Structure 1
């Protein structure tokens, strides 16, 4: 699957990593619902770091359709809330 991190680029990620990413996504949702800004920052960073670590970056000139779009590391809690609606970032 192709994942885009806003402001950074695209990463090729094997579907087998979705379970790990879904755990972080669930934590992120809980922190957003409770308004835990510090937890949100920590978990968003962990989610993006996991995608970077587990994935293979695509060349900058590659423009593939992204199956997932993740917020930039500096996205605010409110910006991510607007991206999500009632769902998480990672399809479950």
Structure 2
């Protein structure tokens, strides 16, 4: 799931997954962090989910995927669209 908050000239995107689906650590990777899995690991939240928040330039689009344990790549079914194998988020 994607949560958005508009800021001045930027959009804060929060990438949200259930706490244990999939099991193990998960990172959100995309062209906004040069596909670096160490840049944005999802962290537990008090509501039983885990999330990573990134402020991105407004009026832009970015490709992303999730990377789980064991090199398990997967998509967000709530992405704004898809570009080949990657999800797309619009700010």
Structure-1-length-normalised TM-score = 0.26
Instruction: Give the number of the structure whose residues are more often strand, by fraction.
Output: 2
Q: Is the helix fraction higher in 1 or 2?
A: 1
TM-score by length of structure 2 reads 0.26
